[in-house]
Amino acid sequence: MTYDPTGHMLLTPIDKDAPARVARMRELGLGEQPDPAFDEFAHRLAEVTGAPFSMVNFIDENRQFFAGLHTPAGMHSGSDLGATAAAGGSGGVGRFMARDHGYCPHVVVRRKALVLEDVCDYPRFAGNPVVDEIGIRSYMGAPLIDRTGVALGTICVVDTDVRPWGRAGLETIKGMAAELMEQINRREDGLR
């Protein structure tokens, strides 16, 4: 767990399920390399929500891995989401982010969707490193809970502007998470 030394607020939740999640991801072959199908899904998620950044994110004990990633075309500057993440293998936008950055670890531990129209409205989330380092102002994510009950990761969208996602946004992100889990389940069935 991580505490903000000035406010003593819990910034990164305790994740007791990480070992089971890592074992399940290995079983499914997820969380180690980019996947064109997940990139395509992230692109569609960005189109549906109108968000400039979207991810299919798998989380282990120490880091987050964007197996699917959509960023605005041509934006790979210091303000780009991937600028603070480790560089990807091809020198492009990074696919890794520390576990204490962002809001997806909260979604995985809570096992519920999270909508932050303006992260600065929530003291618990306003102190997250992605606010100052990347400029994130708005977040919406939903957990990817597989058929065994393990929360593998999330799908999420972020924006550098405040976004009124509302109830419709919440329903959209939850519906798309269910759709992606169906795709992952079909993939697993094909492996058997």
Q: Two tokens at 24? A: 């399940």
Q: Domain of 66: which CATH number?
A: 3.30.450.40
> Residue 87: its pLDDT value, please?
35
> Residue 172: its pLDDT value, please?
97
> Residue 89: its pLDDT value, please?
36
- Please state, in angstroms and rounded to a whole number, the distance separating the CA atoms of residues 76 and 163: 22
> Residue 86: its pLDDT value, please?
38
Instruction: Collect the ranges in the chain with pLDDT lower than 70.
Output: 1-11, 73-93
Long-range CB pairs of 11-16 (<8 Å, 24+ gap) are 11/100, 11/124, 11/127, 11/128, 12/99, 12/100, 12/105, 13/105, 13/106, 13/109, 13/110, 14/109, 15/59, 15/61, 15/99, 15/105, 15/108, 15/109
Range of the domain at 108: 2-191
> Residue 125: its pLDDT value, please?
85
Residue among 31, 34, 77, 46 nearest 158 (CA): 46
Q: What is the pLDDT of residues 111-139, one digit of tens each?
A: 999 999 999 998 888 787 788 778 899 99
> Residue 54: its pLDDT value, please?
96
Domain count, the chain: 1
Beta-carbon contacts of 37 under 8 Å, excluding residues fewer than 6 positions away, are 68, 183
